[in-house]
A = this chain, B = another copy of it.
């Protein structure tokens, strides 16, 4: 039984807390959130305690932490948890700031703590089935990958103001999907977009298309929309040399109504909580299993850093209207760093 502290009592924190309760292999000891009442309520309903970060991390019984707080707090909490020698399960993405993320991961490395970056799509049964089919060679080499990820409703403006551009808080996940499916690094990135939902905001587009090209020439096209209006639209398509693989949306119902006006069926499930429920369970199970067996974590900090870096390249491409070459290295002392990251 591994003892956990949880940072973040919001929606995704609650998902992890309840999955932990059901998992039989871990138990939740502490809930930590700047929103005290939220922490207290969640802790109360699960037999845990709401405490401060300091108390939570100081307890030697706590072996692992789940970081599910606001994205721009991730780096700081990673660093603190690493110093306290806790194994880390960190919600995606790494942080809104790549430099900060890198520094935090240095701390992780120095302390030798296991670090897991919870890119949930890698653990979804549907995406997993596509990944396995691709690996089986049924369509040969992948050549063109189309990823659709659209939120049903736009987040509040405040969220957008703190979360960085759409590339950093949304596209970053699809970038990881591209890396995971191809096993290759994107070398060239382009982005375009428009602001339809909050045109007055200057934080960047809310409808964005990012194209990627990998070292072997695989083309990726990611489209992100903040307001699909008809549900949480998550689709995946891989065109290969001998055919095509697709993951289509899961409908929220199998009821079909046919009448004079046509045939009506249900739209996709309406939220990430529902759509990726199994993925959230599986990723936590995998984290705990790896922890118990001492296996390497995957995806890890490097994966998180690469995805964030490529997201920054997309942002830069969007700003300049030019495709951007992705630096080979996570080491940003290289010259490409200045080119790419000070945008």
Binding site for B on A (CB under 8 A): 22, 125-126, 129-130, 133, 138-139, 141, 143-144, 146, 150, 188, 190, 192-196, 207-209, 211, 213, 217-219, 221, 223, 225, 227-231, 233, 239-251, 253-267, 321-323
Closest 4 CB pairs of A and B: A243-B259, A194-B217, A129-B255, A230-B258
| Nearest CB of chain B from residue A284's CB, rounded to whole Å | 17
A193-B219, A255-B133 known; A239-B321 Cβ under 8 A: no
Contact across chains for B229 and A257 when beta carbons are under 8 A apart: no
Give complex CA distance A23, B207 in Å: 42
| Nearest CB of chain B from residue A146's CB, rounded to whole Å | 7
**B residues within 8 A CB of A233?**
244
- Select one of B247, B260, B262 contacting A254, CB under 8 A: B247
Considering the complex, give the chain B residue whose CB is closest to the CB of A127: B255
**B residues within 8 A CB of A244?**
228-230, 233, 256-259
List 14 interface pairs A-B (beta carbons < 8 Å), by A numbering. A126-B253, A130-B255, A133-B255, A143-B225, A146-B223, A192-B219, A194-B219, A221-B221, A228-B239, A230-B243, A230-B244, A243-B257, A244-B256, A247-B254
Considering the complex, give the chain B residue whose CB is closest to the CB of A124: B254
**B residues within 8 A CB of A221?**
209, 221, 223
| Nearest CB of chain B from residue A219's CB, rounded to whole Å | 6
Contact across chains for B245 and A227 when beta carbons are under 8 A apart: no
**B residues within 8 A CB of A262?**
230, 264-267
Contact across chains for B225 and A243 when beta carbons are under 8 A apart: no
- Select one of B240, B247, B266 contacting A255, CB under 8 A: B247
- Select one of B207, B229, B231, B245 contacting A242, CB under 8 A: B229
| Nearest CB of chain B from residue A7's CB, rounded to whole Å | 26
| Nearest CB of chain B from residue A200's CB, rounded to whole Å | 14
| Nearest CB of chain B from residue A246's CB, rounded to whole Å | 4
**B residues within 8 A CB of A141?**
196
Contact across chains for B265 and A263 when beta carbons are under 8 A apart: yes
- Copies of this chain: 4
Contact across chains for A255 and B259 when beta carbons are under 8 A apart: no
| Nearest CB of chain B from residue A170's CB, rounded to whole Å | 14
A125-B253, A192-B213, A263-B230 known; A207-B144 Cβ under 8 A: yes
Give complex CA distance A325, B258 in Å: 33
**B residues within 8 A CB of A241?**
196, 227, 229
Contact across chains for A257 and B133 when beta carbons are under 8 A apart: yes
Contact across chains for B258 and A267 when beta carbons are under 8 A apart: yes
Contact across chains for B267 and A263 when beta carbons are under 8 A apart: yes
Give complex CA distance A265, B250 in Å: 13
Contact across chains for A143 and B194 when beta carbons are under 8 A apart: yes
Contact across chains for B138 and A259 when beta carbons are under 8 A apart: yes
Scoring A125, A194, A243, A248 by chain B CB atoms within 10 A of each residue's CB, the highest score goes to A243
**B residues within 8 A CB of A266?**
262-263
Contact across chains for B219 and A207 when beta carbons are under 8 A apart: yes
| Nearest CB of chain B from residue A296's CB, rounded to whole Å | 27
Give complex CA distance A321, B257 in Å: 33
Contact across chains for A246 and B256 when beta carbons are under 8 A apart: yes
